Amino acid sequence: MNKMNDLVIPFEHRMFAHCESGTVTGLLNHGGLPLTEPMVFGISSGILFLYFKTPALPFPTFVVRNFPGQMIRGVSRRLGVKFSSAKYRDQKKGEEAIDALLDKGIPVACRTDFYYMDYLPAYMRAHFNFHYLTIVGRKGSKFLVSDCYSTELAELERESLRKGRYPGGSFDPRGFLFYPVRVPQNPDIDAAIRKGIKAACFNMLRLPVKQVGVKGIRLFSKKIMEWPGMARNEDHLSHEIMKINILLEDQGTGGAGYRFMYATFLRQASEKLNAPALREMSERMMLVGDDWRRISIYAARMGKNHDFGETKFRELSEKIARQADAEEKFFTDLARIAKTL
């Protein structure tokens, strides 16, 4: 490899609640569009619920946001942002593409396997092929990485980024990268908000798939009763139960307190559209988020104390079922309000 000159693009590194919404927000802000993370999340209809089991994962799981990549597409479609994206079969060419963009002063976002981002604490690192970050420079054998989960601009060995961009397995990123080539300075944000809200309500209430939306929450509430029979042993069950807390709050797809982020989006939307009804909905969403938080703490304690009696599971299941009812009511009301906006 030819020796590369060190360079740093003046990109403002900030922490965000979640990697995809944060990465997109960072790129748009860099491109001159001062949108907040909750706005990006709401406009792209980021809120969702999905319960699923796949041969790629050792245990059933759930996410509380839309499918990875949809925030990028949602912002692109609804705000008219044009992203250029590419995948590279050849790993060397994939790395050269990043260097070429950096040479032009363009910060470039990549999709990676979280596991190889060794600047993050070891307990955070898990194999997950949907972690987004932005490369903003290089220094010696390392890239400079703006990662929403890192307090500082991070340094990552080229070798680690290569592994992260080409991990194989399900949803292999295959060197996927993207960057905005056109960021409109005055997009019709009001229209984008309306579309984002309507689509979110549709996804939560009317997608004809039992794993998705309110139906997905109900499925989760039923299926959780089967978890004790699916675990390898008590420690395994404890680990999976405690992951509910991770998924609802702390990290990864599904994490970051999405209900709180959506409440913040609705608050900002109410101010932008001058719609007091949305302000009221933002307060309701905050309460829905509080109830999810209670569930996550309940699950974490259950897991820590190995408290796995049927009554405990039944109680957890009922709490989740109540969330389904609350979200059904919430999104039904929100859909009605959305028609009047």
Which residues form the interface with another protein (CB under 8 A)?
15-17, 37-38, 55-58, 115-116, 118, 121, 123-124, 126-127, 148-149, 151, 163, 167-170, 172, 235, 238-239, 242, 245-246, 249-251, 256-257, 260-261, 263-264, 267-268, 282, 286, 289-290, 293, 297, 300, 303-304
In whole angstroms, what separates CA 337 from the centre of its chain? 26
Contact call for residues 277 and 334 (beta carbons, < 8 A):
no
Closer residue to another protein in complex, CB, 51/292: 292
Q: Quick one: 215 or 259, whose CB is closer to another protein?
A: 259
C-beta closer to another protein: residue 185 or 274 = 274
Asked whether 160 and 117 are in contact (CB, 8 A), the reply is yes
Helix residue ranges per DSSP H, 253-275: 258-273
> Which amino acid is present at 54?
T
Taking each helix axis from N to C end, the angle separating 310-340 and 276-304, rounded to the nearest 10 degrees, works out to 170
> Which residue, 30 or 259, has its beta carbon nearer to another protein?
259
Q: Tell me how far, at minimum, the Cβ of 71 lies from another protein, in Å.
A: 16
Structure tokens at 129: 């092929």
**Choice between 73 and 304, CB closer to another protein:** 304
Contact 299, 308 (CB under 8 A): no
Minimum Å gap between C-beta 215 and another protein is 26
- Residue 61 CA, chain-centre distance (Å), reads 15
Q: Considering the complex, what minimum distance in angstroms separates the CB of residue 104 from another protein?
A: 30
Cα separation, 212 vs 195, whole angstroms: 20
CB of 16 to another protein, least distance (A): 6
The CB-of-135 to another protein minimum distance in angstroms stands at: 20
Residues constituting the chain: 341
Structure tokens at 206: 């009317």
8 A C-beta contact, residue 17 and residue 254: no
Min separation Cβ 7 and another protein, Å: 26
Nearer to another protein by Cβ, of 44 and 268: the residue is 268
Q: CA 59 to CA 230: how far, in whole Å?
A: 8
DSSP state of 247: I
Q: Using the minimum distance from each CB to another protein, give the nearer residue, 77 or 158.
A: 158
> Closest separation between CB of residue 100 and another protein, Å?
26
